[in-house]
Amino acid sequence: MTYEPHSPSRDERPPTSVLLSEIRPVTGLPSTKSSTANTEQQSQLDGSPEQILLGARTLDLILVENWGNPLATGLTGIEIVEGTDNILSLKYGQLSSNVKSKNLKNLVNRENVTTDSKNMWCVPLQQDNVVISIDLCEFKYLSGMFHQVKSKK
């Protein structure tokens, strides 16, 4: 990306804690059309006035429920979208999990739409949530994450 979104002053920042607001916490900047700088940023976002970018250096993906298998949970892949259309190229060394697993590398092998267990990441379901941490190596502005859920056989 060749630009950085406007950083709001402390007074402009939306509540980011459930304790400070009765509404769900906001994790991005609200879209406004009042300033020229903001209008220029919106045009750089492919004309999408509703686009919100989240800035982060690390991400935690928390798996709280699975589909179908009472003993295990898993995914077939993860993709992170930087800006509006750039899929980040994640490497195995950028991933970690609170559950030991030999096949964590399968989340970034680009075989995301599969029913082949050799290309899946699967771990035993625990009482605690399963957490996958992603180190982006530097601060990046993100607009989305795709995670493919492990298919039932």
Domain ranges of the chain: 1-51, 56-149
CA–CA gap between residue 105 and residue 90 (Å, rounded): 10
Share of the chain above pLDDT 70, in %: 61
| pLDDT above 80 (res 19) | no
Q: Which residue's entry shows tokens 């601060």?
A: 139
The HSE-up count of residue 4 (CA atoms within 13 Å, CB side) is: 6
How far is 11 from 90, CA to CA, in rounded Å? 35
pLDDT of residue 47: 52
pTM value? 0.60
Least confident of 10-19, 94-103, 111-120: 10-19
Tokens 């290309």 sit on residue: 119
**pLDDT digits over 112-124, tens only?**
787 888 888 888 8
SS3 for 58?
A: strand
Question: Which one is predicted more confidently, 82 or 38?
Answer: 82
Residue 97 or residue 23, greater confidence: 97
Give which of 41, 20, 23 is closest to 32, Cα–Cα.
41
